Amino acid sequence: MMVVKRAATRLPFLFSRLALAAALLWAGVAAAQPAPEPASGFNPKNGIDAKHFLLAAAHPLAVEAGYEVLQHSGTAIDAAVAVQMVLNLVEPQSSGIGGGAFILHYSAAEAKLRAYDGRETAPAAARADRFIGADGRPLEFLNAVVGGKSIGTPGVLRALELAHAKYGKLPWAELFQPAIRLAAEGFPLSPRLHKLLTLVRLTGRDRAMRRMYYLDDDTPKPVGTLLKNPALADTLRKIAAQGAKAFYEGETAHDIASTVSNAPNPGDLSTDDLAHYRAREREPVCAPYRQWKVCGMPPPSSGGVTVLQVLGMLERLAPQSLTKDPVRAAHLVTEAERLAFADRGRYLADADFVPVPVAGLLAPEYLARRAALVRPDHALGHALPGTPPGALALADDASPELPSTSHISIVDAAGNAVSMTSSIEFAFGSQQMVHGFLLNNQLTDFSFVAEQDGKPVANRVEPGKRPRSSMAPTMVFDRDGALVLMLGSAGGSAIINHVVKTLVGVLDWKLDIQQAIDLPNFGNRNGPTELERDTAAEDWAGPLRAMGHEVRMIDMTSGVHAIQRTRDGWRGGADPRREGVAMGD
């Protein structure tokens, strides 16, 4: 995509023109990527090169907002605030202020990586049998997701505010202006949003959500419809002026709690839960992979640890570099993933509530023992968890994780960087709307079963606890400590596999970032080996079955957005399976 460079102008004035500029940008993207989408679901993208700053995110209007911030000397976290606020508006199915986020932030001046945890929390009134029905059995997922019981205390605003207080440069209020303008003046309904509105029409949807996105006959508004969200514009104005407390206290907090308690399948999120919510700064998890250091989010996300486990096993299975033979590579990667997911299901949860043996799971001796289980010519089948150093006797988790997530990668002119993944969990979250934004259903990321065979499940529901996540914002550093790669993805628990595939593409196969993102998706979550339908991966099915893999061909709508250091600056890539773009100068 061509970047249009604008003359230096006062930032508020640029924001006042953003709706028009962004609409023109979207028109250009829509012309290049017409609806309906191709049968394969791919919209080919070109990698973007930049010398000074660059960002990649899931919607061109959100990218335009972040671009303006970076062009006017904003920091990476400044841009992340602007991008996330616009995503809340234009990609409501995936993320927003009613959900949560994990943020990796790299400070170039300090050479310091920090992790910010904005994951939702269970209400103080939550109990372990939350998702057990009257018959004593776990609820069906869709019976649990819609309504109030699935809604956790949102965290994304507190996490962004915490990071912005330390690393922001532009005023907080200015960063909300692009989203406020678009909410008030309108934006065109995209093909992807229309498709999801068509597919996800569940009983119990909030009436405000129906009015926003559907016609009187309950069909989605047509592609290109100018959507306005004045309620969200008002909400964002308050948050811009008063900070995150305008969300967590007062009228907005009262109305969130009221919506939760009066929704179908009512919940127990209270104004006290909102008022007492705090984002956490945590220590990133890092481990070596060949000549690099790879870093990710610690628990309560399972993404960082599981990605590092897979890489640690792959280094032992292929000491020099992973083979370029796609079938052999897919076999080794999916076997390592199978073993890592077995450990994930037993041990990973909110470490503030459960002792999580992170060091043991990443110990070289333990990873060597796990890698030794992989046979070069035959699949393991269902893998059992290992016993890492420091592990407690726990039962396996039973939590469904379905994808509705968004990822942002940003590097600013000073070399500061953000890798941020945010989510409301299912498509359109709990399907309950308050003041123009949708509320999450993240509590369904807890195990529906609290114990098995007399052993507790690590990821069981507990008051104030954060449900386990698969979000995997990732940064990679070279042996000199220089940041060389940042990435993450959407995709539920398959996020882990999408990130691993992209890392292997760049680090082992020396592809540029767009080529690595474009590779067919594949993975294993300790079940069938999953291959992306309508891609070259279909040709791997026969050989993998001959090796004992149970193979399943599925749609795998990853949402990888990534940035790679180059000789001359940076190169950004966006996933062809979605409508995001990369942009920079």
Query: Please, is 516 exposed, middle or buried when counting C-beta atoms within 10 Å of its C-beta (0-12, 13-18, 19+)?
Result: buried
Question: 26 phi and psi, to 5 degrees?
Answer: -60, -40
Among left, alpha and beta (phi > 0; psi -120 to 50; other), residue 464 is left
| Catalytic-role residue among 306, 405, 444, 502 | 405
Q: Would you say 419 and 488 are in contact if contact means Cβ atoms under 8 Å apart?
A: yes
CB atoms within 10 A of CB 531: 25
Cα–Cα distance, 458 to 355 (Å, whole number): 9
Cα–Cα distance, 553 to 521 (Å, whole number): 10
Q: Specify the amino acid at residue 317.
A: L
Query: Please, is 431 exposed, middle or buried when counting C-beta atoms within 10 Å of its C-beta (0-12, 13-18, 19+)?
Result: buried
Structure tokens at 222: 């047509």
Angle at 556 between CA 532 and CA 63, to 5 degrees: 130
CB atoms within 10 A of CB 365: 9
Q: How far is CA 56 from the centre of its chain?
A: 13
* 502 labelled catalytic: no
SS3 566: strand
Cα–Cα distance, 541 to 550 (Å, whole number): 9
Cα–Cα distance, 529 to 484 (Å, whole number): 30
**Which whole-number Å values give the CA distances from 22 to 31, 59, 78, 258, 564, in the listed order?**
14, 11, 19, 35, 25
Task: Give 318-359 as a 3 state SS string.
Answer: CCCCCCCCHHHHHHHHHHHHHHHHHHHHHHCCCCCCCCCCHH
Q: Provide the β-strand partners of residue 175.
A: none
236: part of which helix (H) or strand (E)? helix 230-242
| Catalytic residue positions, numbered | 405
